[in-house]
Amino acid sequence: MEKKTYHNLHPQSMCPAFGGLRVLSRIEGARVCLVADQGCLYGLTFVSHFYAARRSIVSPELMNVQISGGTMIDDVRATIDEIASDPSVTFIPVVSTCVAETAGIPEELLPERAGNARVALVRLPAFQIKTHPEAKDVTVANLLKRFGDFDAPKHRKSLVLIGEIFPVDAMATGSVLQRIGVESVISIPAGDLDDYVEAARAGACAVLHPFYEKTAELLRERGMRIVSGNPVGAGATGEWIKRVGEALDLDRTRVREVAEEEKARAAGVVAKFDGVSGAVIVAGYEGNELPVVRLLLEAGLDVPYASTSIARTPLGEEDHQLLSMLGTEIRYRKYLEEDMQAVEEYEPDLVIGTTSLDSFAKERGIPAIYYTNNISARPLFFAAGAGTVLGMVAGLLGRKEAFRKMKEYFTLP
Ligand code: SF4
C-alpha cells in the first residue's frame, strides 16, 4: 500500500465533559444538571449511558432565546429545584460545557443546597480542558476542594488512591496495602460523596494515573504526601510498594519484604513471556498508556511508538524518561494522523489503539484491538495484571498470519 503524508486534523479524545460526567454520575444519589446546548446534551447522554452510570442527565432547555435572552440562570435554578423535588437526590452537580455563556455561568447565583441535595458547579469547557481524562482530574479536584474535610484530624496510616482501576486491581492493591500496614484505603473517583470528605484526612495519596495533576497539586498544597507511579510490571511494583511505605512511615522491614515478594512474583510472570517477540504500537486516549508500554518493554517486546491524548506531565515524567531511553517515540496530545503515520512507518505486528486507528491497521492486515475495551477492562497491576495483559498480547501476536490471510482474501485481484 502506498505511503502518504498526513495532515493533523483529528485530535483524539471523547468530549472532555464526558470524563466529568463519568465521575459525577457514578456518585450515589447524584443527578447531573447539564448546562449545555442541545447538541452536547444529545451526545453526552448517549456516551454517558454507554460508559458511565447509565443514569439520566437533566438539562434546562437552552435554545438561542434563553442563552442570549438573559433567562439562562433562572432556567438553571428552576431545573435544580425540579431535580431537588425528588427526595432521593442528595447531590446535584451542575456541569457547564463549551457554549461561552454556559461556561461563564456565575457560581454565586446558584444555591449551595436544594431540597436534600448539595449543589456544586463543575465547569468543563473543551476549549480549556482538552481531553476526557483531564476533565476527570478537574472534576475530582473540584469535589475534593469543595467537600474534603482538610481541617479534621488526619488518619496517618490511611491512603487515598487516585485513578479509576479495574475491580480486580482494586482488590489486589487493597490486599497488598493491608499486608504492609496501611489501615484504610479510599479510592477516588468514588461512588460515595462522603469518600471525598474522608479522603482529605488521609496520610498520603497515591496518584495512579499521570493526568491527575490538579488533584495532586491540591492535596500537596494541603500537606499530603504524593506517591507517583503504579504497580505495573516487576520493577515498578516493588518501587511503588516502597514509596507508599515511606510516605506513610510504615514498618520498613515489612514493607521491604512485601515489595521484594511482589516484585519477584511479577518478574516470574514477565519471564514466562521471554520467547514472545514483535513490535507493538500503543495509541490510546485514556491517559494511562505509558505504564502499559513499560510492561511490554519489560517483557522484551519492541514498542517503537506510543501516543496519548493528554499533555506531558510531571507525574508521568519517570515513564517518559524511561521509555524514551528504551527507544519509544512518544506523542502527547496526539492526532489520529500521527498514529496512522506511525503505523505506516513502523509496520508493527500489533496495534493497541483507538477504533479509527484499528480500522486503519486492519486494512493493512495488522492485528489491532481497541485500547479502552481491552486494556482498561482487564487487570494490569501486580503479577496477575502483568500475566493477563502479556497473555493477551502474546495471543494476538500469534494471530498475525490470520490477519494477513484475511486481508489477502478480501483484496480484489
Ligand atoms: S461542544 Fe464541547 S461540550 Fe459540546 S459535545 Fe462538543 S466538546 Fe463536548
Residue 111 and residue 113: Cα distance in Å, rounded?
5
274-410 matches 155-269 in CATH topology? yes
CATH number of 16-129: 3.40.50.1980
The candidate with the shortest Cα–Cα distance to 398, out of 350, 346, 343, is: 350
Class of domain 274-410: alpha beta
Q: Is the CB of 205 under 6 A from ligand 1?
A: no
Average pLDDT over residues 237-256: 98
15 lines ligand 1 (CB under 6 A): yes
Residue 68 has pLDDT above 80, yes or no: no
The three three-digit cell numbers of residue 167, written as one number? 475491580
Per-residue pLDDT band for 240 (boundaries 50, 70, 90) equals very high
The pTM of this model reads: 0.93
pLDDT for res 402: 80
Confidence at 43, pLDDT banded by 50, 70, 90: confident
Look at 359 and 2; give whichever has higher pLDDT: 359
* Any ligand 1 atom below 6 A from CB of 98: yes
248 CA from centroid of ligand 1 (Å) = 41
- How many whole angstroms separate alpha carbon 32 and alpha carbon 55? 9
Angle of the 382-397 helix axis to the 252-271 helix axis, nearest 10: 10
**CATH T-level assignment (fold) for domain 155-269:** Rossmann fold (3.40.50)
Question: pLDDT higher for 67 or 262?
Answer: 262
Distance (angstroms) between ligand 1 centre and the Cα of 372 equals 21
**Tens digits of residue pLDDT in 280-296:** 999 999 999 999 999 99
Q: Where are the domains of the chain?
A: 16-129, 155-269, 274-410
pLDDT at 305 (0 to 100):
98
Residues 6+ apart with CB under 8 A from 141: 214, 215, 217, 218
d(CA 218, CA 221): 5
Of 379 and 47, the one with more pLDDT:
379
**What value does the mean pLDDT take over residues 14-42?**
91
Beta-carbon contacts of residue 194 (< 8 Å; ≥ 6 apart): none
pLDDT band at 409 (very low <50, low <70, confident <90, very high): confident
Long-range contacts made by residues 239-245, C-beta under 8 angstroms, separation at least 24? 240/206, 241/176, 241/180, 243/206, 244/159, 244/177, 244/180, 244/182, 244/204, 244/206, 245/180, 245/181
Instruction: Find out whether the beta carbon of 126 lies less than 6 Å from any atom of ligand 1.
Output: yes
Mean pLDDT of 51-76: 77
